[in-house]
Structure 1
Amino acid sequence: MSGTPAPFTADDYRARMERAARSAAEAGLSGLLVAPGPDLVYLTGYQPVATERLTFLVLAEGRDPVLVVPTLEAPDAAHAAGAPALTLRDWTDGQDPYAVTAPLLDGKGRFGVSDNAWAMHLLGLQRQLPDTSYVALTEALPMLRAVKDARELERLAAAGAAADEAYDEILKVRFAGRRESDVAADLASLLLRFGHSQVDFTVVGSGPNGANPHHEAGDRTIERGDMIVLDFGGLKHGYGSDTSRTVHVGEPSDEEQHVHNVVRAAQQAGCDAVRPGATCQDVDRAARKVIASAGYGEYFIHRTGHGIGVTTHEPPYMIEGEEQPLVPGMCFSVEPGIYLPGRFGVRIEDIVTVTESGGRRFNNTPRELAIVD
C-alpha cells in the first residue's frame, strides 16, 4: 500500500474517550486513569515520555475528559491531535500532583488504571484517596482497543504489506557464513526502508536457536543445513506489523520438511477458524489439534496468537480458556510453532482481521519452506 493515511482527528479521539468512559461505567468502574503509553496514544494522540512527573488522563462517564500534565509539558500536550477534546490541568514542580488529581476522582470509587502506570503515581493517589481502589485495564477492559475501525485497519494492512516486502527482500541475502545478528540488522534496515518508523524485534533463530521461540539474534554463525525462524515487526503509521516465516539453508531433510508441513497445516487451520462468533480459544484449538494429531503437541509451547494495534502485543489472546467471541475488526496473529529442543524450530505467522464472513490476512508472502543460500 502506498501513501500516508489521513490522520486521526480530535473528533476521532473524542469518540474513543467517550466509548472508553461508557465501557468503564458498564464494567462498574467509577472512571479510568490513563498514564503515558499505548492507551494514552490511542485515546488522545498524545505520546509523552513516562517520567517521575505525573501525567494522567482522567475519564468518567458524563464528565469532560481531563489530562493532568506537568506545566513544562503542557505546550506539547496542547498540540496533541486529541487536545481539542480535552481539558488540560497542569501542575508545577513543587506542587503535589496527587492533590491536583484527587478532586477529579471524588475521593472514592474503583478505577481502571492503564497497565503501565508507574507504581509511585498509583501509590501516591492511594495515599491521597484511601477510599479508592484500582484495577488494571487489561483485566477490567481487555477489549478497549481490540476492535479496529476502517482507518486503523488501513494502517495495519499497510504495516503488514511493508513487512511482507521486507521478507521478500531478505530471501535475496546470503545466510550461510553470516551471524544471526547480521541478518537481523538486514531485517531491521528493510523494515525501515519500507516505511516502518520503529522496529520492535528481529528474531533470527538458526539451527538449535530456532527451538527458543523468543531467541534474540546472537553471534552464532549460520551454517548450511540450518533451519532458521525469522520473526520481525514494528510500527508503521503508528500501527504494528508482526510476521514469521521459517527458511532453510540448502535442501531440508525429510523430517525438517515434514515438521514444516505440519506447522503450515496448523497455521492454515487456525486462520480457517477465524469467523464472527467463534471464540479466541477456538482459533487456538484448531491450530493445536493439527500439531497434536501429528505427535508434536508437547513441542507447541506458546499460545496461538495475540492481538495487535498500536502495540505489537495486546488483547485479545488466542489461547485455551479465552472465551471472548471474535467480532469484525479484531486483529491478531495466528502463529503456531513446533520447537524441538537442541535441534530446530518452525513457526509461521500472519496477522489476521475478523471480517463479516471470516478472516482476512494482512500477510501474504508464501508459507512454503523457502530455500536460501
Structure 2
Amino acid sequence: MNEILGNLDSLRRAMDNGDFDAIIAMSPENVPYTSGVGIWSQKVIRDRLAMVVWPRYGEPTLIVATNEEGYVKEKSWIPDVRGYRQHADSPIKLLSDVLQEKGLSAGRIGFEPAYLTTDYYLELLETMPEAKFESCEPMLQTVRMIKTDAEIEILSNAAIATERALMATYSTSRPGEKERDLVARLGAKIMQAGAELPSFLFFTVGPNSGYAHPDPTDIEVQPNDILKADCGGWFNGYFSDIGRTVVVGKATDEQHSIYNRLAEVHRQTIATMLPGVPANEVYRQNVEFYREADIEFNLPFAGHGLGLYIHEMPMLAAYDDTPLAPNMVFAVETRVRWPGVQGFHIEDLIVIRENGPEIITTFMDTSRLMEL
C-alpha cells in the first residue's frame, strides 16, 4: 500500500462526532488503513510497534522502528514520521512524547487493547498518568466495514486471482502427488497471480479434508479423493479468502448428494444478504437452511467481513446484529466436515450492492461437485 485506499473522511467524521481527543491505531490492519503503508515486520514481530497518532485537531503522526523508517517515509502519505531504535528506545516513551507534544497529556485517548500487550499498556499508563485510555476498536471497525470503491476493486481482483490460481492447481493435480507439494504449488500460483505473499494455504487431500486447518502432510492423492481448499493471499495488503472442493476422478453418489445440498444452502444464504438485513438474521436463516438440507450444523458463523484483516466486522454470527449495507464485503463460507473422513467447503466473495448481493468469484462453477 502506498496510497489512501480507506475511507479517511469517514474516520474524520467519526472523530468529529465522538468523544476521543485522539486515537492510536496500532494493529497491522489499522496502521495501513490510516497511514497508507503496510509494515510487514509488524505482522510477525509483535514488539516492533508501529502506531498512528490521529488527533481530533491537527495532523497525524506515524511512529515506527528506525529500520522501517526510510521505507515508511517514502510510502506513507503522512509527512510526520518518527523513529525509535528497537531494543534501545522505548516506543511507548516516543508515543507519550508525541501525545504530550500535541497537548494531550490529560486527553481522552482511544487505543487498541486487543493488540497492545499488557506490558506496553502498563508503561503507557505510567508515562501518561493524567490521560484516559479507552478502546477505539469499535469505532475503527465501524469505519472499515464500509469499503471504498478502491478497496472493493482490490478485494475483487484479489479474489478472482486467487480463484484462478486455485483452479490452476486443481487442474494439474494427479494421483500420487503429495499433499504438501500441492500446497507449495498453490502458494506459488497465488504469488504468480499478483499476491505479495500467500496468507494461508489449507489444501487437504482425502481423509484430511475432514479437518479445517491441518498442517500439510506427505499423504498422497488417491483416485477419487476429495481435494478441499481454503486459501488466500495478501494483495496490496488486503486478504483474499476462497474455498472450493473437487474430486480427483469420479465422486460417489453420497458425495454428490452432500455437495448438492451444501451448494443449495450456500445459494440460499447469499440470497438473504440484502441491505438492511441484520447479520445475525443471515446466520439464523443459514442454520435453518442446513437443517432443511439435513446437514449437521455446528458452526459459529456463516461468513465474515473481509479486508485488511481476515475476519472483519460484521460477522454473520448470532451475536452480531449489524444491518448489512451497500459496499460491505463478505466471505460467505458454507462447509461441513467429518474429521479424518471427508469434508466439503464452498466460500465466495460477496459485495453488498443497493439491489442485493453480488457474487464476485464465479470462475469455477460451484453449483455442482467438480470431477477432475
CA–CA distance in structure 2, aligned partners of residues 171 and 71 of structure 1: 43
Tell me the equivalent position of 2:275. Answer: 276
Q: So what's the TM-score if we normalise by structure 2? A: 0.87
| Structure 2 contact 34–52 (Cα < 8 Å) conserved | no
Residue-by-residue CA offset, 1:317-368 (whole Å, 9 max, x unaligned): 1111211011111111110111123321111000101111101122112102
Deviation digits for residues 155-213 of structure 1 (CA, Å, limit 9, x no counterpart): 11111111121133123213322221111111111111211121011112223322222
Q: CA deviation at 1:35?
A: 1.8
The equivalent of 1:346 in structure 2 is 344
Number of residues paired by the alignment?
Answer: 360
Deviation at 1:27, TM superposition (A): 4.7
CA separation in 2, counterparts of 1:345 and 1:21?
A: 45
1:43 aligns with 2:41: no
> Would you say the 8 A contact 1:156–1:362 is kept in 2?
no
Residues 184-333 of structure 1: pairs in structure 2 closer than 5 A: 184-298=183-297, 300-333=298-331
> RMSD over aligned Cα, in angstroms?
2.6
Would the aligned equivalents of 1:192 and 1:198 in 2 still touch at CA under 8 Å? yes
8 Å contact 1:33–1:114 — kept in the other structure? no
Structure 1: runs of 5 or more not aligned: 1-5
Distance 1:154-1:7 versus aligned 2 partners, 3 A rule: farther
Contact 2:3 2:37 in 1 (8 A): no
The separation in 2 between residues aligned to 1:36 and 1:90, in whole angstroms, is 17
Deviations, residues 67-100 of structure 1 (Å, cap 9, x unaligned)? 234556544332233124xx34455655743541
Work out whether 1:97 is the aligned partner of 2:94.
yes
Higher mean alpha-carbon deviation, 363-372 vs 280-289, is at 280-289
TM-score by length of 1: 0.87
Tell me whether 55-64 or 361-370 shows the greater mean CA deviation: 55-64
Unaligned 5+ runs, structure 2: none
Task: Map Cα deviations across residues 270-321 of structure 1 (whole Å, 9 max, x no partner).
Answer: 21112211121232223322212222233x4241111111233322211112
Distance 2:220 2:206 in 1: 10
What is the SS of the residue equivalent to 2:37?
A: coil
1:29 aligns with 2:41: no
State, as a whole percentage, how many aligned pairs show the same letter.
23
Output the CA distance in 2 between the equivalents of 1:170 and 1:91.
44
Instruction: Give the structure 2 partner of residue 142 of structure 1.
Output: 141
The 3 A distance-change label for structure 1 pair 308 and 281 is same
SS at match of 2:307: coil
Matched to 2:14, the amino acid is S
C-alpha separation between the residues in 2 aligned to 1:216 and 1:284? 29
Task: Give the direction of change, closer, same or farther, for the CA distance of 1:71–1:264 in structure 2 (3 Å limit).
Answer: closer
Report the CA distance shift for 1:70/1:197 in structure 2 as closer, same or farther (over 3 A): closer
Q: 1:178 to 1:45 in 2, by over 3 A?
A: same
Query: Residues 19 and 120 from structure 1, CA distance in 2 versus in 1: closer, same or farther, beyond 3 angstroms?
Result: farther
The alignment status of 1:370 with 2:370, answered yes or no, reads yes
